[in-house]
Amino acid sequence: MLIHILIRIITIYIYSTVMIGILLIFCIGKYYYKLAENHQRSKWGFAILGLALYYVGTFALGFIVGLFATLFTGYGSKQWMSDC
């Protein structure tokens, strides 16, 4: 019984996370589409550019956070490896 409840909670969490992601992608694309429309530019080109910038920024920020976490926590150092 408990396992079924946990599976249901995890499933709802995954679905809600995916839906929030789709909504975020839609809002970013729509914003750049409207902005390009106001300035008489390529609407779909700028909508795709906005989404590409979002994903590049997300990747870059994740890389930077991972780099700082590695540098400041000593993860991957020989001392850390010998503690295992």
The model's confidence at residue 36, banded by pLDDT at 50, 70 and 90, is very high
Lowest-pLDDT range, 3-7, 55-59, 80-84?
80-84
Q: Does 32 score more than 60 pLDDT?
A: yes
Q: Rounded CA gap, 62 and 54, in Å? A: 12
SS3 state of residue 42: coil
* Over residues 21-29, mean pLDDT: 89
Local structure of residue 84 (DSSP, 8 states): -
Q: What is the CA radius of gyration of the chain?
A: 21
**Residue 55 token pair:** 């994903």
Q: Which residues contact 54 (CB under 8 A, 6 or more apart)?
A: 25, 28
Q: What is the share, in percent, of the chain residues with pLDDT greater than 90?
A: 37
Which of 29, 35, 34 has the alpha carbon at shortest distance from 54? 29
Q: Does 74 score more than 90 pLDDT?
A: no
